[in-house]
Amino acid sequence: DASDIEKGTYPHYMLKEIDEQPAVMRKIIQNYQDENGELEIDSDIVTAMNDADRIYIIAAGTSYHAGLVGKQFIERMAQIPVEVHISSEFGYNMPLLSKKPLFIFISQSGETADSRQVLVQVKEMGHKSLTITNVPGSTLSREADHTMLLYAGPEIAVASTKAYTAQLAVLAILAEVTAKSRAMEVPFNLVQELGIVANAMEVLRDSKEDFEMIAHEYLSTTRNCFFIGRGIDFYVGLEGALKLKEISYIQAEGFAGGELKHGTIALIEEGTPVIALATQKFVNLSIRGNVKEVVARGANPCIISMDGLNMEDDRFVIPEVHELLTPLISVVPVQLISYYAALHRDCDVDKPRNLAKSVTVE
């Protein structure tokens, strides 16, 4: 409950929760480590993953965006096919299911009604389920077969920040532990990599002035803003756009870099801000090509790249982390830019109009 959680010296819960992210990473590592320092999850969950021929991730809002990244983790590490669905659509627009599906519900609150409806439905069909949530004992946790907790601490601001990065970390752990149980080679030592992620988050936490300046320069008067990226950067762009619109009311959209020219580029005018994420080596040149396309139409580009892939005109360079884990880091600048954009526009950062922290109606 908001009244029990102090903001301390912070002006807003959102800023406090953004700053808590490195500590949350460390807490997650601790909670999912066995006595030998190896990552460990409930063996029934590993069995459920291995029994599944396909995974269906069901979520809403920011949790849905975490699911899109989670699909990459699970498919690339554990090699189980994954579909990601918006909960409000899934119930009445159900895809043809595989023979042995496992349903993963991602929900910060564990109370989202649209997600719960899907859970009730798939349970009736006899399917297995896992809920990834921040709230022990929440409805989705109680009603699913299994639960993995986020250990992010209470999230009060309506705009989700630390729960998103916690969801990514827990999904990565789920993917890695499953992969190891299948004797598959994993791309890294995840405990070590999440430690690197936590340190990188601290660097960003200490770079707030840069993000405040970016918000001021690009977003103080604009009526719209685009986020572009390729590969997993695209999914972070979707989350960036959601963050920005929910708290600053700037119309924002996230696009796959290559898709812009199929329509959206028509919206680019003189000075339209385009925030481009460039953290993936294999598409580094092509996303920069997309930036050139929008700049030629007058866009005001803000390239956020990763150390090692950076080029001359980049506006901010995030510290290097493993290429699969970049969403954990690249989301922090967009969280902070959104925060400062909302602040400059005198918006109610923690309680944006028309929104609820947890949506318990259909």
Catalytic residue numbers read 357
Minimum distance from CB of 290 to ligand G6P (Å)?
A: 27
Please tell me whether residue 86 binds ligand G6P under the rule CB under 6 A. Answer: no
Please tell me whether residue 62 binds ligand G6P under the rule CB under 6 A. Answer: yes
Q: Which amino acid is at 176?
A: E
Residue 333: which of 200, 154, 194 has the closest Cα? 200
Q: Which stretch binds ligand G6P (CB under 6 A): 54-62, 195-203, 224-232, 321-329?
A: 54-62
| Of residues 150 and 260, the one with the C-beta less far from ligand G6P | 150
Our measurement of the distance from residue 33's CA atom to the centroid of its chain's CA atoms, rounded to an integer in Å, reads 23
Q: Which stretch binds ligand G6P (CB under 6 A): 106-114, 144-152, 208-216, 318-326?
A: 106-114
| Of residues 107 and 165, the one with the C-beta less far from ligand G6P | 107
CB 330 within 8 A of CB 305: no
Minimum distance from CB of 142 to ligand G6P (Å)?
A: 15
Please tell me whether residue 63 binds ligand G6P under the rule CB under 6 A. Answer: yes
| Of residues 190 and 250, the one with the C-beta less far from ligand G6P | 250
Helix (H) or strand (E) holding 31: helix 21-31
Radius of gyration of the chain (CA): 20
What SS3 state is found at 303? Answer: strand
Q: Which amino acid is at 91?
A: G
Minimum distance from CB of 240 to ligand G6P (Å)?
A: 14
Tokens linked to 296: 């030629």
Q: Which residues in the 123-162 window bind ligand G6P by CB under 6 A?
A: 158, 160
Q: Closest-CB residue for ligand G6P? A: 61
What is the per-residue DSSP string for 306-340?
ETTT--TT-SEEEPP--TTSHHHHHHHHHHHHHHH
Half-sphere exposure of 298 (CA within 13 A, CB side): 8
Among 24, 32, 61, 277, binds ligand G6P (CB under 6 A): 61
What is the phi/psi pair of residue 243, to 5°? -55, -50
CB 229 within 8 A of CB 237: yes
Minimum distance from CB of 281 to ligand G6P (Å)?
A: 30
Burial code (b: 16+ CB inside 10 Å, e: under 16) for 190-202 equals bbebbebbbebbb
Among 120, 125, 311, 355, binds ligand G6P (CB under 6 A): 355
Please give the size of the binding site for ligand G6P, defined by CB under 6 A.
Answer: 15
Minimum distance from CB of 352 to ligand G6P (Å)?
A: 8
Among 21, 109, 165, 284, binds ligand G6P (CB under 6 A): 109
Binding site for ligand G6P (CB under 6 A): 60-63, 107-109, 112, 115, 158, 160, 355, 357-359
